[in-house]
Structure 1
Amino acid sequence: MPVPYTSRAESGALPERLAGLLARRADDAPHAPALREAGRTVTYGQLRDAVQSTAETLLALGVRPGDRVLLVAENCVAQVCLLFAAGLCDAWLVNVNARLTAREVDEIRAHSGARVAFYTSDVSPDAAAHGHRHGATAAPAPGGGSWLVGPINDAAVPEPVHADGARQCAALLYTSGTTGRPKGVMLSHRSLLYVAAVSSALRGLVPRDRAYGALPISHVYGMTSVLLGTLYAGACLHLVPRFAAAELLRAVVEDGLTIVQGVPAMYTRLLEVAPAPVAARLRFLYAGGSPLSPVLKAAVEARFGLPLHNGYGLTECAPTVSQSRLDAPRDDTSVGPPIPGVEVRIAGPDGDPARPGELWVRGPNVMLGYYRAPAETAAVLDADGWLNTGDVARAGPDGALFIVGRTKELIVRSGFNVYPLEVETVLNAHPDVAQSAVVGRPGAAGEEDVIAFAEPRAGSSLTGEALAAALAVHAAAQLAPYKRPARIVVLPALPAGPTGKVLKAALRELACGLSAPGVGSSSIPAASAPPAP
C-alpha cells in the first residue's frame, strides 16, 4: 500500500513526505483551487484524489519502494500527480524535460535504472515521440485524458528506503550538462519541503494568490520554488506546457495573476510584447536561474511598476541559496542574503568575504549526493555538509551576496582573471542588445581569448556587423584592455535550454571554430548559429 496520506507531523512542522504538504491543504480547504490548466480548475481535494489514484496505478504496475520512476513531460496536472504519487510509494521521481534530445533522454533512462517510464503525450508531442521510441502504450492519465506508459524494467534494483524525510530521496534531477556529462542530483523530501516553505514565506504567499507556472517542473526551480512553494501556501498555480510571452501577458492582464517567477530571458521576451505601463493585479516579480542585468531589471520595474526581486540557487541546493527580501527590494543586482537556516562561506584568497571567492553552502536544502557517483559527490560535498557550488561570489556590507561568475567559466587573459559576467553586464547595458554571453577559448602562447556573443534586441536598428562594431566601441570605453572581447559575434538568438538558460557549451564549440581574432569585431550568418530550442 502507499504511504498513509497524512502529514504525521505536528502543526507547523514539515511533513516527512511531499504528500503531507498536499494532505494539509486538502484537509483545510478541499474546494480551494490548486491548479489551472487549459481553462479547467483542479481543487486541492481533487488533486489529492488524483494523486492517490496515481499511486495505486504505480503499485499495480509493480513499482516498489526505492524504485526510480521516469517521467518525460512538459507542465501539466498529470506531471504534478506523479511527483506526489511516487513519493507516496517511496519511489524516486526522475523528472525529465521532454524537449531533451533522444540521446539525452536515453542516457538518463539508462543511468537512473528506472523501473517504469511515463510520457505526458496529451500536452507534449516531444514526450509522445520519446514514448513511442521506448515502446510505451496509451493509458488513462489522472484527471482525464491519457499518457503513455512504458514497459516494466525487470532489471531495476530498488534503493534503500528511510523513514526520515531528510534521508529519503524524493526526486532525481539531472543537471543540464552545459559544462559536461549530466549528473543525477538526489534531493530528499526534506530538502524540497524546506525550500518550498521558505520560498512561500519569503514571497508572502497566501491562498488568494495566483502564480504562473511556465518554468518547467522538470527543472528544480519550477518544481520546488514555483510548484511546491505555491501549493505549500494553498495558492493556485496556472500551469502552461511552454512559455510564450504573449500568453503570459494575456494571463497577467486577464487572469488576475499576482505572482510571476521566471528567468531573465523570459522577462526580456515579455518586454517585447508588453505595452508601457501594464495595468494588472501583480504584486510580486522574481527572477532567478541566470544572471540578471541592471538594464533588464530597470526596464521590467519601469514597465510593471514593481520591484524585480532576484535570487540565486542551483540544483544541488533544491535550489534556493539566497533571495532578496519582499520588504527590502534592492536597487542593484545582488541575489540577496542567504535564506533562513542556510549558511554560506566565501573561500577567497585572503579570507575577505568582500573579495571574490568560491561560494560554499550548508543547510537542509543541500542534496544527498550525485547518484551512483561517490567520487564526484566527495569532490564537492565535504564531511561537514559543506557544498562547493562552483560559483564565485562576494558579500556586500549588509551580507547580501553578489554572484561574480562560475569557477569553471573563469578566463585567464594576460595573467589576469576575467569573469564573463562582468563583461556580459557591460554588453547587456547597450540599448540594442537583448542578451549576451561570454566564453573563453584557447589562444596563442597559452593565453585565452575572450569571445562574446550578442543577440540584438527586437526592433533594433543595429544588427550584424554594425552592432558588433558598436559593441566593440562600447566595451572599449568601459572595460580594461585584458577584459575586452577579442571577437564579438552577433547571433539572431543565443542557444538556450528549456528554462531559457544560455547554453554556453554550444557557444564554446562555436567560438573554437572561429578564425583567429583580428582587429575589430565580426558577425556570422544565422545559418552558422546553433539553433535555439
Structure 2
Amino acid sequence: MQRRIHDFLDEVVAVKPEATAIIDHADVAYSWQDLTGAVEDAEAAMRARGVKAGDRVVLVFENTISVPAFFLAASRLDAISVVINARLTEAELQRIFDHSDPSLVMFSTDVSDAARAHAAHFGAECVEGRFGQVGLMPRGGATPEPVFEAAAEQVALMLYTSGTTGAPKAAMLTHGNLVNAAHASAKVRGMRADDTCFLALPLSHIYGFVTFLAMCKAQGVMRMETRFSVERMFRALDTDVTFLPGVPQMHAHLFHYAKEQNIPRYEKGLLRYVSSGGAPLDPVWKREAEAFYGLPLQNGYGLTEGAAGVCATNNAFGDPDISVGRPMLNCAFRIDMEAPGAEPDEGIGEILLGGPQVMKGYFRDPEQTAKALTEDGFFRTGDLGRFDAEGRMYIVGRSKELIIRSGFNVYPVEIEATLTDHPEVIVAGVVGRAVEGNEEVLAFVKVAPDCAITESDLKAFVKDRLAPYKRPSRIIVAHELPAAPTGKILKAKLIERFQDQL
C-alpha cells in the first residue's frame, strides 16, 4: 500500500516511464517520465523558497500539468496542498490565504487568464520549469503543522467547503484518506492501464483530484482539460476516450450538443465506462443517457469530507436502478433517524459516513470539527437518504435544503428531477424561500438560447407530476445559471442572481 500520494507516480514511472500519462488542453502529450521531471522541478522551486514539512502550499489554478507537478512535489516534502480554482475573486482568495497561512502560493499562469490576473495582483514571481510557467508568491512566517509518519495521520490536501462565502472552512484529507479513495475508485470502476479518461473535472474539486490519483494507480492516460468544453468532449469521445466520469450537467450539455448536430447516439464504440455523480438519476433521463451512449450509466455518491466517492453502482445496461449504489471499499454508514428532515416511517434519515476515507477534521477549527464528527469518527454528511433491502443507498436531499411547505417535507431533488424530464430543460435548481407563515418553492431552469419555453409551459408540465404542495410557485427560465467549475448549480446564489425576476 502506498504511504504517500506521490508513491503512485513513483510506481508507474518505474515500469513504463515513456508511456503517455497526460494529454493537455492543447493536445500535447506528457509521459510519466515527463511528469516526474515536472515534479522534480516543482520540488526544487518550493525548496528554494523555503517550503518545509507541515507547511501549506496554496495552488490557484485551472487544470494543467503544473498542478499535479506541485501537489505531488508537496507530497514529497510532506507539505500540504491547498487547491483553489482560479475563478474565485481576489477577495475570496485573500480570505483563504489569511486562513490557511501558506508559506507559498502558486498560480497556473501558463493556461489561465484568471490565474495570470491574480498573480499580477498579488505580485507573484514568474518561474519556468518542466512544469511550464507559473507565478510563485512566497509568504514568510507560516506556522507548520505537525508531521506524522503514518499515512492516516499526515495531511496531504486541504479543500475549502465554504471559503467563498462566510467563514472559510477547510477539510483536511490525509494521505491515507486519498490513497484509500484512489484504490476504491479504481476498483469499483474497473479502471485499466489501456483506459483514456476525459478529465474535465477540475483538480480543485475532490471528484477530479481523486479521479487523477485513481488513474495514476491504474496507469492509464488522462485527457486533462483546462475548462469543460462540450465540443472538445464530443471530439475526444470520437478520438480515444474510453472512460468518462462527469456530473449530470456535463452529460446534459453533450446530449444537447449532439442533438444540434443531428447525432442521435454515440457510435464510435471506444467508450466502455460512463458515470454520473452529484445529483439523483431520474429514470427517464437515465434511459435517454444509456440510449445515447449504448452503455450502462453508473451513478455514485461522494463528498469532500469523505475524499470523493463513497458509494457507486455497477449495473448492467438497462437496469432501472436509480440509487447511488452500495458502499465502496471499506466505507461504513449509519442512518440518523433523529436528524432534521428525517422520516423514520420511510427509513429516511441523515447519512453518517465512517471508514478510512473520512477527513481528519477542519483546519484549525476544533469547534466545527466536533460538530461534524461523532465521538466514534463518523461524519455527519447533512444528506438525507435511505437504504433498500439490497443494501443500495438512495439520496433524498440535503437536510439544510429541506423545504417545509404547509407542514409537508419537500425535497428539492425530486422537483429538479421532474423538471429535467422536460426535453427542453438542461438542468434545474430548486430552493425554498420564507414567506409569511410558510415557505415557498422556487425553481430555476437552464434552457438552450433558442428555446422559447415559458414558465407557464413548465408549470403545466409539472401539474400532473407533482403534488400541489411540491409545485414551484415560480419557475425562472434562463440561458445560464450560477454554477461551480464542475457545472454543479450554486443554489445559494440563485435567488440573488434572479432577484429582479421574482
Please tell me the TM-score bracket, short chain as reference. over 0.9
Q: Which amino acid aligns with 1:318?
A: A
- Given that 1:423 and 1:438 are in contact with CA atoms closer than 8 Å, whether structure 2 keeps it comes out as yes
Q: CA 1:302–1:176 in structure 2 vs 1: closer, same or farther (change >3 Å)?
A: farther
Q: CA 1:326–1:353 in structure 2 vs 1: closer, same or farther (change >3 Å)?
A: farther
Q: Which moved more, 1:236-245 or 1:451-460?
A: 451-460
Name the residue aligned to 1:43.
31
- Given that 2:449 and 2:479 are in contact with CA atoms closer than 8 Å, whether structure 1 keeps it comes out as no
Secondary structure of residue in 2 paired with 1:409: coil
Q: CA deviation at 1:327?
A: 5.8
- 1:16-42 deviation line (CA, Å, top 9, x unaligned): 111111111111222221111222222
- Given that 1:22 and 1:231 are in contact with CA atoms closer than 8 Å, whether structure 2 keeps it comes out as yes
Q: CA deviation at 1:326?
A: 5.7
Cα distance in 2, alignment partners of residues 160 and 222 from structure 1: 27
Cα distance in 2, alignment partners of residues 160 and 212 from structure 1: 37
Name the residue aligned to 1:263.
247
- Given that 2:324 and 2:394 are in contact with CA atoms closer than 8 Å, whether structure 1 keeps it comes out as yes
Q: CA deviation at 1:383?
A: 1.7
Name the residue aligned to 1:218.
204
- Given that 2:290 and 2:318 are in contact with CA atoms closer than 8 Å, whether structure 1 keeps it comes out as no
1:21 pairs with 2:8: yes
- Given that 2:279 and 2:413 are in contact with CA atoms closer than 8 Å, whether structure 1 keeps it comes out as no
- Given that 1:309 and 1:330 are in contact with CA atoms closer than 8 Å, whether structure 2 keeps it comes out as no
Name the residue aligned to 1:448.
439
User: Structure 2 residue aligned with 1:293, among 262, 275, 282?
Assistant: 282
- Given that 2:96 and 2:163 are in contact with CA atoms closer than 8 Å, whether structure 1 keeps it comes out as no
Cα distance in 2, alignment partners of residues 179 and 263 from structure 1: 23
Q: CA deviation at 1:369?
A: 0.5
Name the residue aligned to 1:135.
123
Q: Which amino acid aligns with 1:86?
A: A
Cα distance in 2, alignment partners of residues 444 and 192 from structure 1: 46
Name the residue aligned to 1:519.
none
1:503 pairs with 2:490: yes
Q: CA deviation at 1:502?
A: 0.3
Q: Which amino acid aligns with 1:56?
A: A
Secondary structure of residue in 1 paired with 2:238: helix
Percent of aligned positions with the same letter in both sequences?
A: 39
How many residues were matched structurally? 493
Name the residue aligned to 1:250.
235
Scaled by the length of structure 1, the TM-score of the pair is 0.89
Q: Which moved more, 1:290-299 or 1:163-172?
A: 290-299
- Given that 2:181 and 2:357 are in contact with CA atoms closer than 8 Å, whether structure 1 keeps it comes out as yes
Cα distance in 2, alignment partners of residues 405 and 242 from structure 1: 28
1:312 pairs with 2:326: no
Q: Which amino acid aligns with 2:382?
A: G
Secondary structure of residue in 2 paired with 1:502: coil
Name the residue aligned to 1:92.
80
- 1:190-245 deviation line (CA, Å, top 9, x unaligned): 11111111111111111111001111001110001x21111110001111100000
Q: Which amino acid aligns with 1:187?
A: L
- Given that 2:347 and 2:387 are in contact with CA atoms closer than 8 Å, whether structure 1 keeps it comes out as yes
Q: Which amino acid aligns with 1:435?
A: V
1:173 pairs with 2:125: no
Q: Which moved more, 1:404-413 or 1:487-496?
A: 487-496
Q: Which runs of 5+ in 2 are unaligned?
A: none
Cα distance in 2, alignment partners of residues 33 and 266 from structure 1: 25
Q: Which moved more, 1:34-43 or 1:188-197?
A: 34-43
User: Structure 2 residue aligned with 1:399, among 391, 396, 416?
Assistant: 391
1:103 pairs with 2:91: yes
Q: CA deviation at 1:56?
A: 2.1
Name the residue aligned to 2:333.
344
- Given that 1:178 and 1:505 are in contact with CA atoms closer than 8 Å, whether structure 2 keeps it comes out as no
CA RMSD of aligned residues (A): 1.9
Name the residue aligned to 2:103.
115
Q: CA 1:209–1:249 in structure 2 vs 1: closer, same or farther (change >3 Å)?
A: same
Q: CA deviation at 1:49?
A: 2.8
Cα distance in 2, alignment partners of residues 328 and 245 from structure 1: 24
Cα distance in 1, alignment partners of residues 401 and 31 from structure 2: 45
Q: CA deviation at 1:496?
A: 0.6
Cα distance in 2, alignment partners of residues 411 and 259 from structure 1: 37
Secondary structure of residue in 1 paired with 2:326: coil
Q: Which amino acid aligns with 2:444?
A: F
Q: CA deviation at 1:253?
A: 0.3
Q: CA deviation at 1:129?
A: 0.6
Q: Which moved more, 1:47-56 or 1:16-25?
A: 47-56
- Given that 2:37 and 2:130 are in contact with CA atoms closer than 8 Å, whether structure 1 keeps it comes out as no
Name the residue aligned to 1:437.
429
Secondary structure of residue in 2 paired with 1:117: strand
User: Structure 1 residue aligned with 2:320, among 321, 327, 331?
Assistant: 331
- 1:66-104 deviation line (CA, Å, top 9, x unaligned): 000011011111111111000100000011101111121
Q: CA deviation at 1:351?
A: 9.0
Cα distance in 2, alignment partners of residues 369 and 295 from structure 1: 39
Cα distance in 1, alignment partners of residues 265 and 435 from structure 2: 47
Cα distance in 1, alignment partners of residues 460 and 377 from structure 2: 47
Q: CA deviation at 1:382?
A: 1.3
- 1:469-499 deviation line (CA, Å, top 9, x unaligned): 1221222212222111112211222211111
Cα distance in 2, alignment partners of residues 354 and 449 from structure 1: 24
User: Structure 2 residue aligned with 1:479, among 466, 480, 483?
Assistant: 466
- Given that 1:137 and 1:149 are in contact with CA atoms closer than 8 Å, whether structure 2 keeps it comes out as yes
Name the residue aligned to 1:10.
none
Name the residue aligned to 1:164.
150
Secondary structure of residue in 2 paired with 1:172: strand
- 1:81-136 deviation line (CA, Å, top 9, x unaligned): 11100010000001110111112111111110010111111110100111111110
Name the residue aligned to 1:4.
none
Name the residue aligned to 1:11.
none
- 1:365-416 deviation line (CA, Å, top 9, x unaligned): 1001111111111001012011000000111221111111101001111111
Cα distance in 1, alignment partners of residues 233 and 359 from structure 2: 32
Cα distance in 2, alignment partners of residues 415 and 284 from structure 1: 43
